[in-house]
Amino acid sequence: MSGAVASPKRVQNVFVVAKEPARLHAFYEGALGLPVKFRDGDRWIQYGVGNTNVALACLEEAAPATGGLVMVLEVDDFEGAQERIVAAGGQVLGLRDMGDHGAVLSLRDPEGNLVQLFRRAAPTAA
């Protein structure tokens, strides 16, 4: 590989794929005391934990994940990422554009674990 690869800026989020987000929310908020930072009904419930986020995602929001935990790493851009992922034995699953929020590149590592790279949307001119 030529050139240095920019490392992720931070762990942007870790989310739990939830079959019953409302039930899990009662646990994460009530038993663990996680404060709600953002909520989109029972589709996505995000908690602020220190300088990162922990969230519950319904099956539709979590796709292509179907269970478990997903690590989301924030990056500045996706340039060259797909080629590096494949060259290192991973699999690129797709890019999801979320408009003003940004975009997510979903991938599987060589052991099949789902990881996502998150790129913020460019600021819009006033």
Along the chain (126 residues), what's the average pLDDT of each consecutive run of 10 residues? 76 92 90 92 94 94 91 92 92 94 93 91 79
Determine the pLDDT at residue 111: 80
CB 104 within 8 A of CB 58: no
Determine the pLDDT at residue 1: 46
CB 14 within 8 A of CB 34: no
Q: What are the start-end ranges of the H helices in 1-126?
A: 21-25, 59-62, 81-87
Determine the pLDDT at residue 31: 81
Determine the pLDDT at residue 126: 64
Determine the pLDDT at residue 2: 53
pTM of the model: 0.81
CB 83 within 8 A of CB 75: no
Q: How far is CA 52 from CA 47, 58, 64, in A?
A: 9, 20, 22
Q: How far is CA 98 from CA 46, 87, 88, 104, in A?
A: 16, 27, 27, 8
**Half-sphere CA count of 45, side-chain side, radius 13 A:** 21
